[in-house]
Amino acid sequence: MSDNVRWYNRLWTFLKDARSELKKVTWPSRKEVTSTTLVVIAATIFFGFFLFFMDVIFSWAISQIKTLLG
């Protein structure tokens, strides 16, 4: 029985400490979250297209090399 009580006390202590630490966090403003989200979306779209076109170019180059080598 004492193991269960100790486990419960440790869990309770952990939850109180976690809540205490979350109160110390400096949360970003809505404007900061919006702007960084837009940057991430733009970068993802840019690199998606970049990698797509690089794949097309390398596929074309490899097919040309295969054609030349027979």
Specify the residue for token string 């205490």.
Answer: 20
Tell me, what DSSP letter sits at residue 54?
H
pLDDT tens figures, 16-69: 999 999 999 999 999 999 999 999 999 999 999 999 999 999 999 999 999 999
Give the pLDDT band (50/70/90) at residue 1: low
Domain ranges of the chain: 2-69
Specify the residue for token string 């109180």.
Answer: 16
CA distance 37 to 43: 10
Given a cut of 90, whether residue 7 has pLDDT beyond it is: no
pLDDT tens figures, 52-67: 999 999 999 999 999 9
The CA–CA distances, whole Å, from 2 to 7, 9, 13, 55, 58 equal: 9, 10, 16, 62, 66
What is the value of pTM for the model shown?
0.62
